[in-house]
Amino acid sequence: MSSTNQQIQQYLTKNEDKTRLLVSCPDQPGIVSSISKFLYEHEANIVESSQYTTDHVEGTFFLRIVFASNNIKDKETMLKRDFQSIADQFDMNWRMSFLHNLKKTAIFASKELHCLRELLYEWESGDLMTDISLVISNHETGRELVESFGIPFHYIPANKDIRNEVEAKQLELLEEYKIDLIVLARYMQILTPKFVATHPSSIINIHHSFLPAFIGASPHKRAYQRGVKLIGATSHYVTDDLDEGPIIEQDVIRVDHRNSVNDLKKKGRLIERSVLARAVKWEIEDRVLVHENKTIVF
């Protein structure tokens, strides 16, 4: 946990007894009752909870609970084991995040640094409670910036002809650092299905358009040609279909007839960085559940 900072240490101290529980399962009576009984019996107090059930005939139930419990480190194994029997009963997808275990994040970057910078500063300001374990880039451009934060920077040149070798090196590093979350901060290289499969629902990308408008390459140029009055940015999980993964967050910014393609790129950077930072923050706070090709953001 070399790269955590002082603000994060304070946060950990304050929240070391807290745990987040995420659940999704087919809806049926008794789910909440069973879970709250479970928590009560394990002397856990609910700090915050959100619940939502889809409005279909056979609905799906989604829950996010933050609970606090003394000496939680000693109870982790027991909590997980005991919860599994509830999970079996209701056919749940679930995970528990113990807050004293900071998630480990890798950022993939390229030449354009605005998103990388935003993440590093949000992190330094104590707004991203994660261990940014390393940055991998196919350009040397960001090295000085990254290393000034005390974070390891790994330069791995990449292009489509050497994709497999590149990904092998990347995966080795991800394994070495035990990475939970990968953030593509304008990385601009396509990942193979094989790579994506290694981190399901754990790779977050930022696309520089308001998807599904201007899917693919050169969205700002096409936005300019179409004469739109707003341009957007979209953060989504990476799946095998380019720019088609579940959307986590989107935003737009106003443009007008005076703006050139280059102006759109500049304005776009303002929302790309804030949209990506919000999406990453929510992921780190275990607020996002994926259901079919969509997200529930609690």
How many C-beta atoms surround the C-beta of residue 179 within 10 A?
Answer: 21
**Identity of the residue, 49 or 201, whose beta carbon is nearer to a second copy in the bound complex:** 49
Q: How far is the CB of 271 from a second copy (least distance, A)?
A: 10
Spatial distance between the Cα atoms of 106 and 114, rounded to a whole number of angstroms = 16
**Identity of the residue, 140 or 176, whose beta carbon is nearer to a second copy in the bound complex:** 140
Copy the structure tokens of residue 135: 């940055």
Catalytic position from the list 82, 243, 251, 256: 243
Q: DSSP letter at 272?
A: H
- Our answer to whether residue 243 is catalytic in this structure is yes
Residues 6+ apart with CB under 8 A from 168: none
Q: How far is the CB of 207 from a second copy (least distance, A)?
A: 12
Tokens 């070391």 -> residue: 16
Beta strands in 101-143 (DSSP E): 104-109, 131-137
Q: For binding to a second copy (CB under 8 A), which residues are involved?
A: 27-33, 35-37, 39-40, 43, 45-53, 55, 114, 117, 121, 125-127, 144, 148, 210-214, 225-230, 232, 246-252, 256-258, 260, 266, 269-270, 274, 291, 293-297
- DSSP string computed for 205-255: EEESSSTTTT-SS-HHHHHHHHT-SEEEEEEEE--SSTT-SPEEEEEEEE-
On whether the CB atoms of residues 211 and 251 are closer than 8 A, the answer is: no
Q: How far is the CB of 173 from a second copy (least distance, A)?
A: 26
**Identity of the residue, 170 or 205, whose beta carbon is nearer to a second copy in the bound complex:** 205
Copy the structure tokens of residue 48: 């915050």
Copy the structure tokens of residue 234: 């979209």
Spatial distance between the Cα atoms of 148 and 145, rounded to a whole number of angstroms = 5
Q: How far is the CB of 178 from a second copy (least distance, A)?
A: 28
**Identity of the residue, 193 or 227, whose beta carbon is nearer to a second copy in the bound complex:** 227
**Identity of the residue, 166 or 220, whose beta carbon is nearer to a second copy in the bound complex:** 220
Copy the structure tokens of residue 197: 């499969």
Spatial distance between the Cα atoms of 249 and 168, rounded to a whole number of angstroms = 30
Q: How far is the CB of 283 from a second copy (least distance, A)?
A: 14
Catalytic (active-site) positions: 243
